[in-house]
Structure 1
Amino acid sequence: MNEKKLIVVGLPMIAVTYGLSRFSYGLMLPYINDTLKMDQYTSGVISSLSYIAYCIAIVLAMGFSNKVTSKFIVVTAGLTSIIGLAIISSSPNAGVLGLGIFLAGLSTGFSSPPYANIIDQNVEPKLQNQTNSWINSGTSIGTAFTGLIAIIMADSWRETYFIFMIIAIFVLISNYKVLPKNQPLAGKEAGRFVKEEWKSATPLILASLLLGISCSAYWTFSRDFMLNNDSVPGYLGEWLWVIIGLAGLVGGAAGAFINKFGLMPAYKISVIALSTSSLLLGAFADHIVTGFLSPSLFGSSYIFMTGVLIVWGISLFKSNPSFGLGVPFLILALGQAIGAVFSGMIAGIMGYQTLFIGASIIGYISLVFKQKN
């Protein structure tokens, strides 16, 4: 299968499931709260449902990779996204909204692992890293698009989610038509716990956990911090996620960089840039340059970093590429969930600046981990 055709359908699916179905909730929350009159606790619980759904779906996608085709899992991702977005757009209360957020969150976990298998079985080896990285960069496009729509449509959140649903329908149809019809199942070893692979994956798991904790502060509180920072223009807060998303397109080059310079140099550069983005926000937030440089570093390095984790994981779990992608993404999500809880506590007690500096330190610590030979 032509890798370019796979990118053309895979990248939009990741954009839909990650950007439109998952990350959009944080941007639309102020307007949703105005309509449904939710308190902060309820809003937080609903937000956690997305993380929970994401983890459940990744586990299911990895576990069933040798029982159903990768195309079936991708179609499941598209359907849960469409249904979730439809429920969100018409939700009359917090309970129904939570159901929609949960279903939309499932789509995110279902969408990533199957593409790793499809690429492994259909794309020539020398192009696989690049293909995985470019499809993964769909997260940045979805984030930028969601941020832009949030600015344009403001409080029309129901109409926004309806538009997202229509987009998801078209993306699902394109994937259904383009992905291989008779895609073979993953190998018999898929889903088995190969002791040697899991042992060699320990540094990857620990690194993913720390990086998840580190970046959760930025994903959760950076926009709110910038919007309430009187030292910088208000438009920086409004356009923060758009900057993050557009900068993330640079992260699509992770595969090509790894092919040329190696996995560990790519890992170190991505971690340093990601951690520095939080450090700048915490230590130099009053400078207007930070308002551009910090989100640019974060967006590009986050997508680059996740691309590195994909390649690292697939190189370890050779018996099942979906495990190679799913394991670091699952641990990254767990780290983000843990980090979100503690970030709120730290921000409330010590303030945002201390939070972002602390997050950067945790990120820098993850530099101690490296691939085992």
Structure 2
Amino acid sequence: MVRRRTAGLAAALLTLGVLVPAGVATAAESNGGTRVLALGDSITDGFNVPGGYRINLWRSLAAAGHLVDFVGTQSNGPADLPDHDHEGHPGWRIDQIDAIVTSVLRESTPRTVLLHLGTNDIAQNHDLAGAPVRLSALVDHIRAAAPNADVFVSSVVPLTDPALESRANAYNATIPDMVRSKGSRVHFVDMHVALTTADLADGVHPSRTGYDKMAARWASALAAVPGSAGNDGAPVTLPSGLRSLRVTTPGFTDRYARHQNSLGYTAHVDSGSSALLKSDATWRVVPGLAGGCHSLESRNFPGYYLRHQDSRVKISPDDGTALMRADATWCGRSAPTGMRLSSWNFPGSYLRHINSELGLATPGGSGADDTASSLVPDIAWSFDAPWAP
């Protein structure tokens, strides 16, 4: 995430004329995933529902196995939203966002930009005839500053006031053709049809239901553009039989996943290691106990399987319960340096090593294991020949 910048002046809340305090600098949140910039006004900020659409968008992407890093100079949302960063400025028009966008993009370096903007131009009746031209110029500036980013430009959500809605309809009608003129990296998202005025809390800003509908529309748009939410790998079949799981994090590639006193760790293993260590670091890949994907059975404790419990990873016997079998089932995903092991019952959470211990980490989650900058390499494993054949 980008480092916070204290706002120079308080921004007027969208359509209401109420001032909000300037932002306070806070530490950035980062999980090393695909950088996504939510850009816009108070609807992006989440007026009425702090965090707005970003709450369910993050959850949807995480559930789909995506490692996403929201970026921006602003931060808000509930404590259970793992990533609060965004670039939503209450009360701001297109021209005001345009004035900062180049510096924001150069600092945040997003892979993907989500743009919902124009409601304040409409509500403030600010040169409406020129609003489409300003939006087009803004998209050009985004493309110039982030030429490798996919840019998703949405129509604005409905407005309850008939006069404002008429202006919104005229503005929205210009967006699809503008987007088509910008090339293959710019995409139109019809947000206006995703909501009705019943989904608004105050005639302008969405309610929680409305924000959730926005999240679903953004998630659908991202899913249609490969790589825009990150290349978190296709499902893969793990190699069968006995294997040893080697760490792929640079500087730690001589370490392997092993069990010791029932808990999971990593340890240096080589040809001179003890027979016990070599056996502890060898696993049998078997069909998943939960009915799909795979489970990892201990080489020297048959019937004991690698499972997560309270975020720690350990070995446990198969007691036949649905919970144990789900905890002990892992789904492989391809990764640049090996394979990721995603939890069967916590999609988007992965087997991770940190400080020589094995745990379950959720990208962007609230735990220290989830937010460390090394998370991405730490959840990739190489399935090597077994140390104890």
What is the TM-score normalised by the length of structure 2?
0.22
Greater per-residue strand proportion: 2
What is the TM-score normalised by the length of structure 1?
0.23
Greater per-residue helix proportion: 1
